[in-house]
Structures are given as C-alpha cells and as structure tokens.
Structure 1
C-alpha cells in the first residue's frame, strides 16, 4: 500500500509562504555595484584550464566565463520547461495514468509554477548581463539535448513515453547540481548571480523532496513488468541527463577566437570521456539511495546492470540528503 501523502507534512505544504515565485524579488544587475566581481568562477569552467584557452587574451577568457553562465541559465530555461514540466503537467492534471492523491496533484502544479518562474528569471538575468557587458546571449535552444533525451526514453521504454518522461523528471530533480551549491557562497561572484542561484537552490531542495516522494508513489503503482523495465532504463537515463551538451561549448570557444579544429580539440580533451564513474555516482548519489529505498536493486540482475553502467547501488552513500 502506498503511503498516504496527505497524512503528514509534505515538502511543498508551505509553498505559498516559501516559494520564490510567491515571495521572491526580481534580481537586478547594477554594474556600478558589482565592479571587480566575476560573473562565474573560472575554476568551475572546465575548459579554461586547457592550454589553447590559456593562450587567449584575458578579455576573451572573461567572455567565455560569461557565456558559461549563459549556458547554465539557458539550459535552465529549456530543461525546466521542456523536461520537468512536461512530466509535471500530466501528474497535475491527472493524465499520468496514476491514481494519485489530490495533494500530489496540487504539489505537481506548484512545481510547474516554480519551474516556469525559474525559466523566466534565468533568461531575465542573462538578458540584463548582456545589456551591461555587451556580450550577446547566444541563440542556443538545446534542441539536440532535449531530442537526445526523448530518443533515449523511447529506445529504453518503447510504447511507454509517459513513463520515460516521469522517470526523466525524477532523475533531473534528484541529481545534485554543484553550481547551485558552490556559487552562492563565492563572494567573488556578482551578487545578483549568487542570489539567483541561491533562490533556485531553495526551490530545488523542495522539488528534490517532492520527486523523491513521487518516485515512491510511482514505483508502487507500476506493474511488475514495468518496474523491471524502469529499473533497467534508469542507468542510461542518468547518463543521458549528465552528458553535457557540447554544441554551446564549441560555439563559445569559436566566438572567443579559436578556429574550428582547435575548438573541437579543446572540447574533446575536456569532455571526451563523458562524466567519469566517480563524478556520475557523486551527482546521482541521492537518486541511487532512493532506488535502493524502493527496492530497485532487489530485482533480478538490476544491481549488475547498474554496475555495467558504472553506477553503484547507493549502499555507500550514507543517509539521504534533504538539500
């Protein structure tokens, strides 16, 4: 029997008092107040350590860090609305084929509102910074990344596109995003950037808890055959979510003055191996613990299937985080 989520406080019960879209302020960039600050920590931009990038003039490297911030902000606008909200909407409207309590549907609408607001303020800040710095916001639509996610879901779960979308949303919303944790405390970064990422992190902490509870509700409602299919799909869905979209990186390097071949080499040297197993497990550790909690690894062959994808079973991750 599934837990009655209406019987105890939920992660979004105080949404009207806590959500950024309800209580937040518009983060405004004032150039004179941010003199000497950076837009994004250079040490969090992996390719700036490449020898070809180190040869660029300092102003070109600065542009790379600004566009890296744009990349994070734009990916937020697209992935929140085109991945997470694609799953949240049918849950909210009762179209997910699941007999869910009204409290879960209401919370899904709260998530939907939050994600739209995250998209709005991310694009808004990018536009403000472009106006101040003169560094244009590139026309990156992340269509290739979103399409790759969709194709991965269809390939892994043929005939069950909605289940694939729900699992992708669970994956995205339970991954640990280093940027949201690291940048807000870095006082070398412009205050509006730090404040916006802190705002985002607060909402995402509640979303993390919502989707953790939702996954448990989803899991108990799946048929045994669908549980087996979902369990075997999860490792590839995790890898797909954590495989960086490299087209914007290549385009940014070209804008910085590198020729096409050098830009491709920098991308290959920096990201060619994809996320290593250690990094993969670090970012997915909360999800792996969640899988262990609902019994995913108790299904025949699943533990070995995760291991073949470089993923553990969450047994060494300690207690679940409530970020």
Structure 2
C-alpha cells in the first residue's frame, strides 16, 4: 500500500524559504491603508482609545504590528525550533522514523526564515513610518510558557518542550487567516502573512501527526502527567502578553490609570476565556483523538481551565 503524502513531502518546491521573495515595505499608508486590522486589536475598540487623536490610533496599530512580528521571532526560534531541533538530531530519547526527523529539519528551516522576515518587516516599517519599535521584551510570553512547562512537568523538560510546540503549532491563528484577505491592510503586511500562513498550514498538519507519534511512544505515567499539564499549556500559550500593550497605550498618551482600565476591560478574564475556547478548538480535538480525556484527572484539568471535550465544547 502506498503511504499517504506527508505535509512536507514537497517542501523543496513549496516552502517559502526555498522560493519566496523578500517583501519590501512601500509607503502605502498615505493611500489610506492600515497596518493592522482594528478588529484584531482588542484595545482599539475601547472608548478611552477611541477618544485619542487619529495619529495616535495609527501609531497603536503600527506598534501592534511590531508586537506581532517580534513575538513571532521569539515563538519560532525559542519554542518551535527548540522542539524541532532535538527531534531532527535524535536527542529526544524516543525512536522516531528517519522521515520524521528530516521533516523536523524542514520545519526548523521554515521557522528560522519566518523569524528573519518578521524582524525584517518590523525594521522596514519603523524606518518608513519613523515610529520606533518600543524597547520592551516581546518574548515575555515564551518565558512564562517555558516556566509553566518546568513547573507542570519538572521531570520531563524535553517532553514539556515538545508539547509546547504542538500546542502552539496546532492553534488556529486568526491573524494569519484573516489579514491576507483584508484589502484595507498594507499589501506588504498581507503578503508576508500569506507567505507565513502557507507554511504554517503544513506545519499544523506536521505537528498534528507528530503529536500522535509522540503520544504513542509515551508510557502511561508520562501520558497522565502530560494530559494534566496540556490545558495549562494551552492557557499559557494564549494568555495575552500585556507588557508591550501597556507600553504602547502609554506612548499613545493614556495615563497609568486609563491604561489599567483598558487592559482590564479588553483583556480581562471573560474576554480571554471566550477567545481561548475558540482558538484552541482544533488542538483540543487533536488531543481527544489520542483519548487524553480517558486518563485520570485529565477531564477535570481541562475543565478547570475552561476547556472541555469537543462534544461538550460544540454542544
């Protein structure tokens, strides 16, 4: 029987790093284009923000683009490549097929390129708009996620890293799906997001298949520990990184008190919970395929983080 084609079988022909072009920013903003869709920037709808002058709101969208691009560089190099490299080099302690190890190297190449062109576009945008990139830590969410992994799986640091990558790479990213279709957004941003989305669609399929192979190689105690840790990893992966947002709001002219109000209203628990349930649906379905919810304590752990088995979530 012929094996079904894998998501990276045509990597040499399809990968952006193999045949893509450098996206060059042009000053289309003068023609009324935006740097980021307002619907995807939660704080832009807040009354305190809407009361700001138009130039300050424009700066907020530019800084939100910076946050997305810089966060991408941290995610791709520290989380995804941090997991792909041990698989590619056979350092996980698990026996994966040679084909999967080669695919992990392909992912590694892709993600390094995504980080490079994200940083490149941020620097181009800053040069053209003369709005500097704030000097803040855009990788705080990765540091928090890795800290959570160490706490959740203290005896399995390698496994924690693999699961973090699976979580990130199987989450549905509204930005990559929606921005390329929005004609109001600067074309360079749309093109870069479209490039990224093409690769990430293949990565989603790779990490979904990788997870099932990984899960099959774990013993029962490892599976139980992992199942109880995964919902917290999902939450950690999807919690907003508010430090750059707060800095951006203050640079736009909001006081500390106004900034705290905006962050609470736009990124508080209720707003975050709804977003997490929606974005994580495909990831939770993947875990259900591996019968994670049948393991002791797993269903309770997911429920404690506002996540449920697919049948319950879709009811």
Task: Please classify the TM superposition score into its range, dividing by the shorter chain length.
Answer: over 0.9
Runs of 4+ in 1 over 4 A off after TM superposition: none
**In the alignment, is the contact (CA less than 8 A) between 1:34 and 1:190 conserved in 2?**
no
Q: CA deviation at 1:261?
A: 2.2
Q: What residue number does 2:132 align with?
A: 136
TM-score, scaled to structure 1: 0.93
Unaligned runs of 5+ in 1: 319-323
Alignment partner of 1:19 out of 15, 22, 27:
15
Q: Distance in 2 between matches of 1:45 and 1:33?
A: 18
SS of alignment partner, residue 229 of structure 1: helix
Among 104, 111, 114, the residue aligned to 1:108: 104
User: What is the alpha-carbon distance in structure 2 between the residues aligned to residue 302 and residue 151 of structure 1?
Assistant: 21
Contact residue 82 and residue 161 of structure 2 kept, 8 A: yes
Structure 2 alignment gaps of length 5 or more: none
Q: How does 1:19-38 map to 2 (within 5 A)?
A: 19-31=15-27, 35-38=31-34
**Residue 173 in structure 1 maps to residue 169 in structure 2:** yes
Pick from 219, 224, 228: which aligns with 2:224? 228
Distance in 1 (alpha carbons) for counterparts of 2:137 and 2:179: 24
Mapping of 1:1-323 within 5 angstroms? 7-31=3-27, 35-273=31-269, 276-315=272-311
Normalising by structure 2, we get a TM-score of 0.95
CA contact (8 A) 2:48 2:262 kept: yes
Aligned to 1:321: none
Q: Which moved more, 1:151-160 or 1:259-268?
A: 259-268
Residues 136-190 of structure 1 show CA distances to partners (whole Å, capped at 9, x for unaligned) of 1222333432221111001111111111100000000000010111111000111
| Secondary structure of the structure 2 residue equivalent to 1:315 | helix
Distance 1:317 1:104, change over 3 A: farther
Deviation at residue 316 of structure 1 after TM alignment = 6.0
Say which is worse superposed, 118-127 or 140-149, in terms of deviation: 140-149
* Aligned counterparts of 1:104 and 1:39: Cα–Cα separation in 2: 38
Structure 2 Cα separation of the partners of residues 42 and 206 of structure 1: 28
Equivalenced residue count is 314
8 Å CA contact 2:28, 2:186 repeated in 1: no
Asked if 2 retains the 8 angstrom alpha-carbon contact of 1:174 and 1:286, the reply is yes
Give 1:278 shift: 3.3
Structure-2 separation of matches of 1:255 and 1:211: 39
